[in-house]
Amino acid sequence: GAMAAVRDVEIDPEGTFKYILVRVQRPGGEEQRDIVRGTKAAEFHNHIFEKVNPEMEKLGYECKCLGGGKIDHNSRDKKIRVFGLSTGYGKADHSVTVEILKKVYTDYEITWSDDKK
């Protein structure tokens, strides 16, 4: 369905930035997906949610933020590190985030930790 049009991952190609894990679902429907969104442009985690939420509403989905953290994306070495937390949303389940990232960045080394930095 249209949910296939919703990309699993949209993150900056390089650098360290905030990210959120978002659950997308049809109102009242069973179909749901967790997606990862992150960008340096966001000073706070809720800035990311405020961008993704209207996009998904337009497609007829409701969103729930499952938490956040930070992503360190090193495209040269093909490494992604997931860590940290969101003050507002709490810590995302980074292990879930890593599994989603692996679907897209198949040839990367992707790790996570509960480190703050």
Query: Was 18 annotated as part of a binding site?
Result: yes
> What three-state secondary structure class fits 83?
strand
Q: Which of 45, 47, 73, 94 is flagged as catalytic? A: 45
Q: Is 45 a catalytic residue?
A: yes
Q: Among candidates 62, 54, 114, which has minimal Cα distance to 90?
A: 114
Six-digit token pair at 46?
């809720």
Of the chain, the end-to-end C-alpha distance in Å amounts to: 39
Q: Among candidates 97, 75, 78, which has minimal Cα distance to 86?
A: 97
Q: Residues 33, 59, 1, CA angle at the centre, nearest 5°? A: 60
Length of the chain: 117
> Which are the catalytic amino acids?
45
Q: Which residues are annotated as a binding site for substrate?
A: 18
